[in-house]
Amino acid sequence: MNPLELIALARVLVGGVIAGERDSATQTELRRAVSCAYYAMFHTLALSNANTLIGASPADQQRWAWQQTYRAADHRPTRNKLSSANLGGRFPGAIRRFGVAFADVQRVRHSADYDPHSNFPATDVSELIGRVETAIANFNQTSDDIRRDLAIHILTNVRSD
C-alpha cells in the first residue's frame, strides 16, 4: 500500500470527481477521504516498521518476516503507544507530532466510518489531509535509527518486572 497514493486519492475524493458532474463532494466521498488519510498514516508506520527492522530492498519485501512485520501493528494499541505519555522524551518532536496526529485522525476516521450522523465539511477534510501529509513528510525525514526504535516500541510489549 502506497501512502502517497492514498493521500492523492483522498484529495481526489475531496474534489468530488469520483461521482462526476457535481460541484462538490458527497458525504460518502468525504468520509472515504478521511479514511484514506488515516490509512496513509497507518501504512506509513507499517512500511517504516518493516523497512527499518527487516530491510527495504525488493528482495526483503518478499520475505515472510517483512510481511509479518508490516502487518504486526494493530490500530488501537498503536494509537495508545503513540500517545505522548507513552512516547515520553525518548522520541523527537516529529515522532511525537506524528503520534498526536495519528490519534486525532484515527478518532475522525472512526466517526467517518461508524457515525451515520456525522458531517464532514470539505474544507475540514482538506485541512486534515494537509495535516496528515505534513506529519508523514516529517516522520519520513527522521533517521532510520529513530524509526527503528519506534518500530520496537510499537511492536513489542515492555515488561515491567
Per-residue pLDDT tens over the stretch 13-48: 998 866 565 678 999 999 999 999 999 999 999 999
For residue 115, give the C-alpha cell.
457515525
pLDDT the model gives residue 20: 60
Q: Measure the CA–CA gap between 146 and 91, rounded to whole angstroms.
A: 7
Per-residue pLDDT tens over the stretch 52-104: 999 999 999 999 999 999 999 999 999 999 987 788 788 999 999 999 999 99
Q: What is the DSSP string of 86-151?
A: HHTTSS-HHHHHHHHHHHHHHHHHHHHHH-TT----HHHHHHHHHHHHHHHHHHHTS-HHHHHHHH
Mean pLDDT, range 97-120, rounded to an integer? 96
Residue 130: pLDDT over 70? yes
- 29 vs 35, 39, 101, 125, 145, CA distance in Å? 10, 15, 21, 10, 38
For residue 58, give the C-alpha cell.
525488493
